[in-house]
Structure 1
Amino acid sequence: MSFLITVLVIVIVWGGWLLFNRYRLNQVATLIDENQFTQLKRRAQIIDLREKRDFDAGHILGARSVPYSTLKQLYGDIRSDLPVILYDQGQTLSSRAASFLHKKGYPTIYVLKSGYRNWNGKTKKRDA
């Protein structure tokens, strides 16, 4: 019985943590799907937060590589007067980057809900 209670507590805490992170993300950015991305992409900067080798292996057409590991040094290269669309493999790094950019004064931030992992649109691969 105590094992079931322990598992239940873990599941509740984990669920609460997920809800809290979603709430925090919604305070600083708007989650968008591929259709919304298509409508916004011409007026926004598309930032790929994955590492350079992943970017070179394939990225969303029109995206610029700013790896999350270098964001704190390179965020000044991202214009704050234009909307920013962030994506990574899923959504974890994008959420963290959105929070960071919001603190730095970026007013309009979008996060691709499905990430690159589930992207079905046009992509580009760097020639080897």
Structure 2
Amino acid sequence: MSQWYFFIIVVVAILAYTLYNYFAQKRIVKTLTEEEFKAGYRKAQLIDVREVNEFENGHILGARNIPLSQMKMRMKEIRPDKPVYLYCQSGMRSARVAQMLYRKGYKDLYQLQGGFKKWTGRIKAK
């Protein structure tokens, strides 16, 4: 019987942690549709957080590549006084980068809903 209590406590803890992260994420970064993203990214810092090879295969015109794996070292390249528009392939990495930036004092954070795979706008490829 005590095994069931332990199992239930673990499941409840996982659910609570997941819900907390979900709502914290909503507070940290605003997720924009493609149209909303297009309307604002030219006046902001557009950051592609995918790896270099993904970036070279195609990226949104005007984007700068700062991969998640290099973000801690290169965070100073992003100005905290200007809006930051982030995107990755699907939205997971950009959400993680937004959390990192938020902890360092960046407040004006946006991410592309669905990531680059849902983007239908202009792209640049090498």
TM-score by length of 1: 0.83
Structure 2: 5+ residue stretches without partners = 1-6
Q: Indicate the percent of aligned positions where both proteins have the same amino acid.
A: 37
In structure 2, how many angstroms separate the alpha carbons of the residues matched to 1:72 and 1:52? 16
**Count of residue pairs the alignment pairs up:** 118
Q: How far does the alpha carbon of each residue in 1:61-106 deviate from its partner, in whole angstroms, 9 at most, with x for none?
A: 1110000000000010011111001111111111110011011111
Structure 1: 5+ residue stretches without partners = 1-5
Residue in structure 2 matched with residue 58 of structure 1 by the alignment: 58
Shift of 1:22: 2.4
In structure 2, how many angstroms separate the alpha carbons of the residues matched to 1:47 and 1:122? 15
Residue in structure 1 matched with residue 3 of structure 2 by the alignment: none
Shift of 1:19: 3.8
Matched residue SS, 1:62: coil
Shift of 1:49: 0.4
CA RMSD of aligned residues (A): 1.9
Q: Which runs of 4+ in 1 moved over 4 A?
A: 12-18
